[in-house]
């Protein structure tokens, strides 16, 4: 295992758009120490390097944007599809909710909860022929691909999914599951 050279640390800091002061504050060390490490005037202790790399990791997590975590293509249904067809799509892809998109425009959302609720006091055969538009809920919120992951996390506190909209088209979707995957690395 090779340890990073001083110029490697500076390169990482600049890639994360951190000043020496920002890095020092995040790592709990002084800015002059960061400057001396980067100029190879001093060999840092292992504990200091650990603090610096922890600060880098935290900064990377803060710079994650939706484009990095969204998934595409989008599994969706149309408002004119039958509930039976929509349920088949959901089961086939292992999703519990999906957007309803007509001609490229999000018009609503459909979840397993909404389908189950529509079955209350109904004949099962009758429900399978309902149209998605009769059962669907509001459309998921939309964000641009450059929206930061922290903002999307806050939106997902109140919504099951967020659609990614770019140049007038839905290009991806982010769910709570996608945000949770960020915790793993």
- Tens digit of each residue's pLDDT (9 = 90 or more) over 144-156: 998 988 889 899 9
Specify the pLDDT at position 1. 60
Specify the pLDDT at position 29. 95
What mean pLDDT value characterizes the chain?
Answer: 89
Q: What is the mean pLDDT of residues 157-175?
A: 92
Same fold, 6-63 and 67-184: no
Report the SS3 class of residue 61: helix
Banded pLDDT at 49 (limits 50, 70, 90): very high
Structure tokens belonging to residue 150: 């922290």
Specify the pLDDT at position 23. 94
How many other CB atoms are found less than 10 A from the CB of residue 101? Answer: 19
Please report the sign of the dihedral spanned by the C-alpha atoms of residue 70, residue 73, residue 75, residue 80: positive
Residue 96 backbone dihedrals phi, psi, to 5 degrees: -105, -10
Specify the pLDDT at position 31. 95
Among 120, 59, 124, 112, smallest CA distance to 88 is for 112
Look at residue 120 and tell me whether its pLDDT is greater than 60.
Answer: yes
How far apart (Å, rounded) are the C-alpha atoms in residues 77 and 105?
A: 11
Specify the pLDDT at position 37. 94
Say which DSSP state 174 is in.
Answer: E
Residues near 160 by beta carbon (within 8 Å), at least 6 away in sequence: 96, 97, 109, 111, 140, 175, 176
Specify the pLDDT at position 16. 84
Domain residue limits, the chain: 6-63, 67-184
CA-angle at 66, arms to 55 and 159, nearest 5°: 110
Specify the pLDDT at position 184. 61
CATH superfamily of 6-63: lambda repressor-like DNA-binding domains (1.10.260.40)
Specify the pLDDT at position 183. 66
* Fold exhibited by the domain 67-184: CBS-domain (3.10.580)
Instruction: Give 108-119 pLDDT, tens digit per residue.
Output: 999 999 888 887
Which of 47-51, 125-129, 159-163 has the weakest average pLDDT? 125-129
């Amino acid at each position: 295992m090779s340890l990073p050279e001083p110029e490697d640390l500076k390169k990482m800091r600049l890639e994360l758009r951190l000043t020496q002061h920002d890095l020092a504050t995040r790592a709990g060390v002084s800015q002059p120490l960061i400057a001396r490490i980067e100029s190879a005037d001093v060999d840092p202790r292992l504990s200091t390097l650990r603090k610096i790399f922890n600060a880098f990791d935290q900064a990377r997590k803060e710079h994650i944007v939706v484009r990095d975590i969204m998934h595409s293509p989008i599994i969706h249904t149309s408002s004119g599809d039958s509930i039976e067809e929509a349920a088949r799509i959901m089961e086939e892809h292992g999703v519990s909710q999906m957007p309803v998109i007509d001609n490229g425009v999000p018009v609503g959302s459909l979840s397993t909860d909404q389908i189950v609720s529509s079955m209350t006091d109904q004949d099962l055969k009758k429900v399978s022929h309902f149209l998605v538009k009769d059962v669907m809920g509001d459309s998921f919120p939309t964000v641009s691909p450059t929206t930061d992951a922290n903002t999307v996390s806050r939106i997902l506190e109140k919504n099951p999914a967020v659609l990614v909209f770019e140049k007038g088209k839905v290009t991806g979707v982010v769910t709570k599951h996608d945000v949770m995957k960020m915790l793993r690395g």
